[in-house]
Amino acid sequence: MKKVYGTAAEALDGLLFDGMFIASGGFGLCGIPELLLQAIKEAGTKDLTFASNNAGVDDFGIGILLQTKQVKKMISSYVGENAEFMRQYLSGELELEFNPQGTLAERMRAGGCGIPGFYTKTGVGTVIAEGKESKIFDGQEYIMEEGIVADLAIVKAWKADTTGNLIFRKTARNFNPPAAMCGKVCVVEVEEIVEPGQLDPDHIHLPGIYVHRIIKGDHEKRIEQRTVRKA
């Protein structure tokens, strides 16, 4: 099965459609699939629902799709660094489903493992619990959350072999593995592609069974918040 494609547009060819549900890796601007997001923008696919920790910033990450009004709904944990995200939500232009970060990660992982739902204490007694089934375990209340299964997963990794085995680099791993797992189809952008056998099996973070298409590209790797100290 051929998994390596030449460009982001080629890797997404035949996968995009209006109204689709996309799971996207990344945390802030760290480890985001920037090339695939740009290709989705250029394709003009609209009415999208994204499951992603956040939406990047105004002019980078998912933020570029908010600018072009291609996103209908966000399933996210954090809004704060994206002024357009906040503006669209507060004006009623954008649907938003808030998820605690751990819950969102587990919803993605559960969906990828074929688990339709799970119970968690996170959110009990808050607006997160409204309308959700609850159950008592050992005298404690838990709420049920549903696993996420997306039409498409887009993720960023550091290295891949041609069969799709992935290695992520440090904190850029973040939401990428669970996002990759929960997509019916997973497209990955990487910095380096090697031949099978060149990756140490003990260093592989995500097996290639989850990965359908791969591209290699050059990445901007913006810094979201630059913090320095005096010498």
CATH of the domain at 154: 3.40.1080.10
Residue 80 pLDDT more than 80?
A: no
Using the structure block, give the residue that is written with the tokens 């060819």. 13
Residue 178: predicted pLDDT = 98
pLDDT at 227: 85
Q: Which pair of structure tokens corresponds to residue 68?
A: 């072009």
Assigned domain for 221 exists = no
pLDDT of residue 79: 81
- Among 82-96, 110-124, 196-210, 215-229, the minimum mean pLDDT is found in 215-229
Expressed as residue numbers, the domain containing 171 is 8-216
Q: Is residue 99 part of a domain?
A: yes
User: Residue 64 phi/psi, 5° resolution?
Assistant: -70, -25
Asked if residue 81 is part of any domain, the answer here is: yes
CB 54 within 8 A of CB 82: yes
Mean pLDDT of the chain, nearest integer: 96
Please indicate, yes or no, if residue 227 is contained in any of the structural domains. no
Is the model's pLDDT at 181 over the cut of 80? yes
Q: What is the pTM of this model?
A: 0.95
Residue 224 has pLDDT above 90, yes or no: no
pLDDT at 94: 96
- CA atoms within a 13 Å half-sphere pointing along the CA-CB vector of 58: 5
Is 128 domain-assigned? yes
Residue 231 has pLDDT above 80, yes or no: no
Residue 98's DSSP bridge partners are: 76
Instruction: Of 51-60, 65-74, 106-115, 208-217, give the lowest mean pLDDT range.
Output: 51-60
**Has residue 223 got a pLDDT over 90?**
no
Residue 228 maps to a domain = no
> Pick the residue with more confidence: 220 or 95?
95
Q: Are 147 and 111 in contact (CB under 8 A)?
A: yes
| Structural domains in the chain (count) | 1
pLDDT given at position 19: 98
Partners of residue 160 on adjacent β-strands: 166, 193
163 burial (CB, 10 Å; 0-12 / 13-18 / 19+) is middle
DSSP 9: H
- The verdict on residue 98 lying in a domain is yes
Residue 57: what residue type? V
200 CB contacts (<8 Å, ≥6 apart)?
none
Residue 108 DSSP SS3 = helix
- Would you say residue 231 lies in a domain? no
